[in-house]
Amino acid sequence: MSKVIEVNSLIKKYNGAKSPSVDGVSFSVEKGEFFAFLGPNGAGKTTTISILTTTLSKTSGEVKIAGLDVEKDARKVREHIGIISQRPSLDTSLTAEENIRFHAALYGLYGYRPSFKLMPKVYREQVVQLAEIVGISDALFKPIKKLSGGMQRKLEIIRSLIHTPDVLFLDEPTQGLDAVSRRMLWDYINEVRNTYGTTIFLTTHYIDEAEHVDKVCVINHGQIAFCATPDEMKRQIAYDPTPRVCLPSLEDAYVEFLNRDKEVA
């Protein structure tokens, strides 16, 4: 498998900050891999994603997506990526469908037409079916202002996938969603991933969501604390030697690593 994301010695120091938010981070993600980038609040996850998605400049280091430099070839990089960011990026004056239509036109998939009915049939069918899958059919033509946070999240997921990106960045995508919605969304994301081989780059505080990923990197205080498969990570932690039915969960391992890191610091 080829590397679709390559990060080498990445440093990001915000203007006026005393210390870097991301301090010499290196990791890589293989094409089609499901990658989890975990860490506590303020660890540098969103900063790293912002640099990877070309919306934030780096201080130093090398970052490549699909072999393209995120600074020199930013525009080409953006052709390969999609993102569901921590903060919703919807236009609250428009309806849910208008937000999707705007996105599709912005990516050049379809020319923007003034009403849904005037859009090509393939677009209309696609939007209606995606809305059914994520359960927002009733809300499709309602203004964003009238949708719950969960509904808005689902809409963002439809929107980010409509241009079928090679790499999908999910920055805490299920924050604020109920358990049923979370499961529904993961089923859908897995379906897209299996069909297209989409690389998923996930950050989340729900560690169970990362249980079945291919690789986990834990970032803490701007530095990589550990990078391995979930099983390898679990094997690294000290646990009670009394017989247990199963290995500790990934969440156990995650908390253990953070605690160890804190002790070292």
- Residue 122, classified by CB atoms within 10 Å of its CB into exposed (0-12), middle (13-18) or buried (19+), is exposed
What is the enclosing helix (H) or strand (E) of 260? helix 250-264
Q: Closest CB to another protein among 86 and 249?
A: 86
Q: Closest CB to another protein among 55 and 229?
A: 55
19 scored as a contact of another protein (CB under 8 A)? no
Q: Closest CB to another protein among 118 and 265?
A: 118
Binding residue (CB under 8 A) for another protein from 18, 41, 75, 246: 75
Q: Closest CB to another protein among 36 and 158?
A: 158
Cα 42 to Cα 248: distance, rounded to the nearest angstrom: 26
Task: Report strand pairing: 223-228 vs 60-65.
Answer: unpaired
241 scored as a contact of another protein (CB under 8 A)? no
Q: How far is the CB of 243 from another protein (least distance, A)?
A: 42
Cα 83 to Cα 160: distance, rounded to the nearest angstrom: 6
**Site map (CB under 8 A) of another protein, residues 79-118, x = contact:** x-x-x-x-xxxxxxxx---x---xxxxxxxxxxx-x----
9 scored as a contact of another protein (CB under 8 A)? no
Q: Closest CB to another protein among 144 and 225?
A: 144
Q: Helices then strands (H, E): number in the chain?
A: 8, 10
- Give 99-102's long-range contacts (Cβ < 8 A, gap of 24+): 99/144, 99/155, 99/159, 100/127, 100/155, 100/158, 100/159, 100/162, 101/127
Binding residue (CB under 8 A) for another protein from 141, 146, 178, 191: 191
C-alpha dist (Å) from residue 260 to 44, 52, 222, 230, 234: 18, 28, 15, 17, 14
Amino acid at site 129? Q
- Residue 142, classified by CB atoms within 10 Å of its CB into exposed (0-12), middle (13-18) or buried (19+), is middle
Q: Can you read off the two tokens belonging to residue 173?
A: 């995508």
Q: Closest CB to another protein among 33 and 156?
A: 156
46 scored as a contact of another protein (CB under 8 A)? no
Residues 158-187 that bind another protein (CB under 8 A): 161-164
Q: Which stretch binds another protein (CB under 8 A): 28-36, 75-83, 177-185, 245-253?
A: 75-83
Interface residues toward another protein, by CB under 8 A = 14-15, 53-57, 75-76, 78-79, 81, 83, 85, 87-94, 98, 102-112, 114, 122-123, 125-126, 129-130, 132-133, 161-164, 191-192, 195
